[in-house]
Structure 1
C-alpha cells in the first residue's frame, strides 16, 4: 500500500509519555508554593501542550508577570523530582520502531523545553528514531504553526504529506494552522468532546487504536 504521509509528527506529553497527571500535580504544587489560587484538574490539564510560561500564565491568571520565573522554577522542581518515574504508554516503543523501519520520517513537536525533551528522549531510549524535533523554547508556542513548519522545512516534506498526532486541541489547531492533517488521541490531557471541536482526520481512544490506524492509513 502506498504511503499517504512522509512525515509523522508526535506531541510528547500525553501522547507518547503518560505524564498528564504529573504535569497537573506540578502546576498545582507550584501554585501552592507561591501562595496563589490552585487551579483545578480541568484547568491545569487544559494548558498541557503549551509552552511552559504560556501554560502557567493561563492556568494561574492571578500570577503577576514578574513572578513567571519563580513559578517556572517551582514547576520544574516538582516535575523533575519524579519525571524519571514516568512511563511511555504501553506499545509506544514498538510502534515508533515499526514506523522508523517502515521509512517514515518521524518528528516531535512539544511544549517542553529543549533541555526537557532531550532528557525525556534519553530516558525513554527513543531518541535514535526521531529525525527532527522542535520545542516551545525554540519557537512560538502551540497552536502557532511554527514548529510544524520548521520540521517540514528541515525534512523537505510538504504539508499534504505530513501528519500531526497529539492529545490536545492545541496540537490539532497547530496542525490546522500549518495546513497538515491531524489525529487526536483522547487518552491524554484533553477529553474527546474537546478534541472534536477542532478538525482532524481521526480521533482514537488508545495507543493500540492509534497504532492500527497508522498501519492502515499512514
Structure 2
C-alpha cells in the first residue's frame, strides 16, 4: 500500500467470528442464576461488545451482576469445551484469507480490540491458529468497556502507528463510537450483531470480507 505503517484493528465477536450461539446460551444461564426471565436474542446481541459487567448492568440493572458474570463465564467455558472454540466460534467466510493477505503487506499491522477476556481471546486465537497474526491484542481485562477509546489508544501505542493511519473494523455501534472517540476511522460490517442502521458513526459499511482490502487502499489513498 505504501511505505508508511498502517494499523487495522478488528473486533472479534460478530466481526471475525460468529459466536452468537454460545453467547446466547451463556447469557441464558446467567439470567437463570439470578432467577430472571431470559432476554430475547435481539436484546442479548444488542450488548455484544460491551465488557460483561457493563452488559449485565444494562440488561438487568437490579440483579447481582457479579453472580451473573460468573455464571456466564462458567457456561461459556463449558460450551466451548464441548465442541472446541474453532467449532463454537467459527471464522466468518473470507476472514482467514483476508487476514493472511493483509498480514503479507509489509506496511500493514493487525490488531484486535474485544470485550472478551484475555483467556477467552487467547483460547480462540489458538483454536484458529492465528497466534502470529496480531501484533497487539486489547481485551476487557485491562480497559474500560467500549466505547471508551482506551483499547485503541493502547493498540496504537504498541504498534507505533498514528490515528490517521489506523482503522477500526467492527460490527457494533460500540466499535464505531470507540473509533470516533479515539480519532481513528471506523469501518462497519453488515454481517455481525448490530443492524447497519446502528453503525451511523462508521465511515463506510462492508458487506463481505473480500471488500476490505480494496476499501482500505481507497481510504488511505484518499487521506494521503
Q: TM-score, normalised by structure 1?
A: 0.90
Stretches of structure 1 that go unaligned for 5 or more consecutive residues are: none
**Matching of residues 62-211 of structure 1 within 5 Å:** 62-63=62-63, 67-83=64-80, 84=84, 85=87, 86-103=89-106, 104-196=108-200, 198=201, 200-211=202-213
Check the 8 A contact 1:38/1:60 in 2, yes or no. no
Deviation at 1:140, TM superposition (A): 1.1
SS at match of 2:132: helix
The answer for unaligned runs of 5 or more in structure 2 is none
How many residues in Structure 1 have an aligned counterpart in Structure 2?
213
Return structure 1 stretches of 4+ with deviation > 6 angstroms: none
In structure 1, distance between residues paired with 2:208 and 2:157: 30
Measured after TM superposition, the shift of residue 216 of structure 1 is 4.9
Does the residue aligned with 1:171 lie in a helix, a strand or coil?
helix
Query: Secondary structure of the residue that 1:108 maps to in structure 2?
Result: strand
Once the two structures are overlaid, the 10-residue window that deviates more, 168-177 or 1-10, is 1-10
CA contact (8 A) 1:182 1:201 kept: yes
Indicate conservation of the 8 Å contact 2:50/2:146, yes or no.
yes
Preserved contact between residue 5 and residue 109 of structure 2 (Cα < 8 Å): no
TM, length-normalised to structure 2? 0.88
Aligned to 2:55: 55
1:46 maps to what in 2?
46
RMSD: 1.8
